[in-house]
């Protein structure tokens, strides 16, 4: 692929995506298009214990294939990937799926401590660097998500911005059963938003976990205590203000 022009790569990958039928077949190297798929859609890695796991080459491909096959078939096919047995790859796949679903169809979430589900409506997802520019914040006339492009962004995986509700909702998507809370990174973005003129009145911090882990998930360490005190996160008691929400994506 390195010997091909950019346009040739785009055309080749697009054709491969169009031919995706059953991901289970492609990921097991069986079938007419499987050889091309391994090079163009998937990467196969070996872990320290020599076991293999499969991941998509990029977030772009993950989204395109999910749209092509449908979210239901896409998520069902993941059980055939060794990805789901590898904790880091599983977490990345859950994160990608979360943003695809909130972008294209919206999502129902189970909230810990509450009986009813909470529905989040579909909204655009904008991938851009943090800190945000005034242009990015003003480019959307409706509610939207911001997703940093960098792998393992500190503190959070994305943020939902609603100008009409003056709401900033941070999300950390994780397949783990515990996670640190690093409030200093939340404060940095809040200060950034205020600086570019976004109205900040209410802040939510949500950990998005697998439905089966909803009750057992815990926030392990809290850093930057007191950073969000003016927004209702009492210093030393920030855990009480965190929302834990379960999803059934994988």
In this structure, are residues 110 and 100 in contact, taking their beta carbons and an 8 Å threshold? no
Among 28-32, 67-71, 76-80, 171-175, which is the least confidently predicted range?
28-32
Bigger pLDDT: 115 vs 38 = 115
Q: Is the pLDDT of residue 4 over 60?
A: yes
pLDDT above 80 (res 140): yes
pTM assigned to the model: 0.82
Helix, strand, or coil here: 223? strand
Q: Is the dihedral of CA 190, 210, 247, 245 positive or negative?
A: negative
Edge-to-edge strands, sheet with 243-247: 117-120, 107-111, 243-247, 202-210, 167-173, 158-162, 144-147, 125-127
> Looking at the predicted structure, is the pLDDT value of residue 125 above 50?
yes
Burial class (CB in 10 A: 0-12, 13-18, 19+), 2: exposed
Burial of residue 167 (CB within 10 Å: 0-12, 13-18, 19+) is middle
Contacts of 36 (CB under 8 A, 6+ apart): 16
- pLDDT bin (cut points 50, 70, 90) of residue 33 is very low
Q: Distance between CA 118 and CA 107 in Å, rounded?
A: 8
Task: Return the H-helix or E-strand segment holding 74.
Answer: helix 71-77
**Exposed / middle / buried, residue 179 (Cβ in 10 Å: 0-12, 13-18, 19+):** middle
The residue among 55 and 95 whose pLDDT is bigger is: 95
Q: What is the average per-residue pLDDT within 209-237?
A: 96
Residue 176 three-state SS: coil
Task: Say how far apart CA 9 and CA 205 lie, in whole Å.
Answer: 39
Using the Cα atoms of residue 32, residue 37, residue 40 and residue 44 in order, give the sign of their dihedral: negative
User: Which positions ≥6 away from 124 have C-beta within 8 Å?
Assistant: 103, 140, 142, 144, 145
List the domain boundaries for the chain. 6-85, 107-247
Average pLDDT score, the chain: 84
Residue 84 Cα distances to 41, 78, 230, angstroms: 17, 7, 40
**Cα–Cα nearest to 173, from 143, 147, 191:** 147
Indicate whether 18 pLDDT > 80: no
Whether residue 203 contacts residue 245, with contact meaning beta carbons closer than 8 Å, is answered with: no
Sort strands 178-182 and 218-223 into parallel, antiparallel or unpaired: parallel
């Amino acid at each position: 692929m390195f010997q091909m022009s950019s346009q040739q790569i785009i055309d080749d990958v697009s054709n491969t995506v169009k031919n995706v039928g059953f991901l289970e077949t492609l990921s097991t190297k069986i079938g007419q298009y499987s050889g091309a798929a391994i090079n163009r859609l998937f990467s196969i890695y070996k872990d320290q214990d020599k076991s293999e796991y499969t991941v998509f080459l990029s977030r772009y491909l993950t989204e395109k294939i999910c749209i092509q096959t449908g979210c239901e078939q896409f998520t069902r096919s993941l059980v055939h990937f060794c990805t789901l047995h590898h904790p880091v790859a599983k977490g990345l796949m859950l994160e990608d799926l979360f943003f695809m679903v909130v972008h294209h169809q919206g999502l129902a979430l189970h909230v810990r401590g509450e009986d009813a589900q909470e529905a989040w409506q579909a909204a655009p997802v904008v991938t851009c660097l943090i800190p945000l520019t005034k242009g990015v914040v003003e480019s959307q006339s409706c509610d939207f998500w911001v997703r940093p492009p960098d792998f393992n962004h500190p503190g959070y995986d994305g943020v939902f911005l609603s100008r009409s509700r003056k709401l900033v909702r941070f999300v950390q998507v994780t397949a783990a059963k515990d996670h640190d809370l690093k409030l200093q990174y939340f404060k940095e973005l809040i200060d950034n938003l205020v600086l570019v003129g976004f109205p900040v009145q209410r802040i939510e911090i949500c950990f998005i976990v697998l439905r089966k882990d909803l009750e057992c998930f815990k926030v392990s360490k809290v850093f930057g205590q007191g950073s969000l005190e003016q927004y209702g996160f009492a210093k030393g008691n920030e855990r009480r203000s965190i929302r834990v929400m379960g999803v059934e994506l994988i």
